[in-house]
Chain A
């Protein structure tokens, strides 16, 4: 546990009057069952990924955990022969651009909503909230046609430039967060002669790091996992992202399934590693934004 919150242990409802031991056994049994449901497929994937090209990937009964083969060569092949190192780099580029874009622009846009007074503020903020509910599918085709017309089809631009216009959800999140920071800090800075930019960049931004992290990690996961965008905008296999590459690989005739599973495992692992590092911050983040009654 990262932060020692002063939360009392909560007595949740228990299942109908069971003796304490039986209750514990039941809870553990169900949780272990659920965990096996999650982990067995992952174990199977790892087993398949560690098999050499000569071994059958599909066996009956299935092998849940690698016992016979530990061929790391498959991972090497997935990375270099199937070029997942390349796709990973492509995805990483898009992740970096999207994270920078969305964090910078969303905080910039959130700042006046949280701190400055201007005419039309309430109307604009209501409008911002309304855009969060906006229908993505309707914009899909016209955006595609417009990007197509200006020659952005087949490039990465449609996949990261819009991030620099902010994300309504993150703007909302950051505005809420900024409002919780004492206004006296701004006033003190103003007394010391700081301008609005300095207040934003030197005071707000450092204090907002927790919420900026939440936005960055979410954006990382969305961009890394995004499939539809790359699918419609990219045509050159050299430019494919990991999600698009794995989907294409699956559909190819004569695919080596051990390599598919190795690649798939790598794609999953990347995002899992990032998630594990940010876990504590994230769950609080989701809970706080999600459930504002």
Chain B
């Protein structure tokens, strides 16, 4: 007996949903959003405005009296007199340009191997993903020992392979960055897993069509796999570049040894964030450190914009066709 009444009410509900939001619904929505608004205000808006201000002051961590407003002096100093700024930027960009293509390619190769339909692939997948899960600091603690020039396992393997004078790795300005790169290569399985997801989303019929068209293995890779995988590659590239700009923890472990100080031998590992940390938290120049952070952000935004522009030419989205 209650059926008609129930239907009526359901219809009412449906009709109501199409009309303008009710006062209650709106009030409830904003109530739910309250924690977000609070976070935006306290952890975003206020710090952001404050960051603009302190980057234009001589704010110190521990200072007698208030900071002074110095206008753009920090920025002028950075660009005209601060050799470390340019050096750290150079180190960071060098790292990005040298290692990102390497990591992206190694990850892709690994994912192609993992995508083969053989027995035991799950085991390999799990093993190769291990380094991506554990913390960068823990990995660096391990590699600090593996890269030990005298007793390290890396040099032992190199000697066994017939290298007479294996490098001093982290103690040698020439070899410090390759050493970090080798450590980075250890974690490339993380990328491989994301590639793998991309590979498995490629519809099989494309490969079938390519076979019918007479494409060989390389042809299929070049004309099916690569274009279909390009959104994944782009996503990984974007992430890799941003991560590389912000790399810090592992370097802290690898370089802050004894009297060497942050930055490694001859500052060969003075990445941007390492320098920023050193300026702001070790030396206590908060104002200048914030100015450095703004410039890093601007560099990051420019790089992202460049990549987004390039995306149009290199990335293929299925929906376009």
Please give the residue numbers on chain A whose beta carbons come within 8 Å of chain B beta carbons, in ascending order: 7-17, 24, 27-28, 30-31, 34-35, 37-42, 44-45, 48, 58-62, 64, 105, 108-109, 111-112, 116-119, 121, 124, 128, 131, 133-146, 162, 164-166, 171, 187, 190-191, 196-197, 200, 221, 224-228, 231-232, 243, 246-247, 250-251, 253, 257, 260-261, 264, 267-268, 271-272, 275-276, 279, 283-284, 286-287, 290-291, 293
Q: Which of B94-143 contact A (CB under 8 A)?
A: 110, 112-118, 124, 126-131, 133-138, 141-143
Which chain B positions have C-beta within 8 A of A40? 153
Pair A247/B113 contact, Cβ less than 8 Å: no
Pair A134/B44 contact, Cβ less than 8 Å: yes
B303 an interface residue at 8 Å Cβ cutoff? no
Q: A62-B151, A137-B276, A283-B193 are in contact. Are A251 and B256 (CB under 8 A)?
A: yes
Please tell me which one of the listed residues B39, B113, B137 contacts residue A30 in the complex, with CB atoms under 8 A apart. Answer: B113
Interface size on B (CB < 8 Å)?
111
Closest to A60 in B: B151
A-B CB pair tally, cutoff 8 Å:
290
Pair A271/B133 contact, Cβ less than 8 Å: yes
B283 an interface residue at 8 Å Cβ cutoff? no
Which chain A positions have C-beta within 8 A of B150? 58, 60
Please tell me which one of the listed residues A37, A190, A247, A291 contacts residue B198 in the complex, with CB atoms under 8 A apart. Answer: A291
Q: A41-B153, A272-B133 are in contact. Are A279 and B216 (CB under 8 A)?
A: no
Which chain B positions have C-beta within 8 A of A283? 193, 197
Q: Kindly state the separation between the CA atoms of A44 and B221 in the bound complex, as whole angstroms.
A: 38
Which chain A positions have C-beta within 8 A of B118? 24, 27-28
Pair B33/A124 contact, Cβ less than 8 Å: yes
Q: Which of B272-314 contact A (CB under 8 A)?
A: 273, 276, 280-281, 286, 289-290, 293-294, 296-297, 300-301, 304
Pair B232/A291 contact, Cβ less than 8 Å: yes
Pair A139/B136 contact, Cβ less than 8 Å: no
- Residue contacts A-B, CB under 8 angstroms, 9 given: A10-B202, A12-B112, A13-B224, A13-B225, A31-B113, A62-B156, A117-B20, A227-B137, A250-B144
Closest to A5 in B: B200
Most buried by A among B32, B232, B290, B300: B32
Q: A38-B128, A279-B126 are in contact. Are A135 and B153 (CB under 8 A)?
A: no
Q: Kindly state the separation between the CA atoms of A144 and B197 in the bound complex, as whole angstroms.
A: 38
Q: A12-B112, A166-B39 are in contact. Are A243 and B135 (CB under 8 A)?
A: yes
Pair B54/A243 contact, Cβ less than 8 Å: no
A187 to chain B, nearest CB (A): 5
Pair B138/A17 contact, Cβ less than 8 Å: no
Q: A131-B44, A139-B43 are in contact. Are A41 and B146 (CB under 8 A)?
A: yes
Closest to A251 in B: B256
Please tell me which one of the listed residues B25, B32, B200, B246 contacts residue A137 in the complex, with CB atoms under 8 A apart. Answer: B246
B252 an interface residue at 8 Å Cβ cutoff? yes
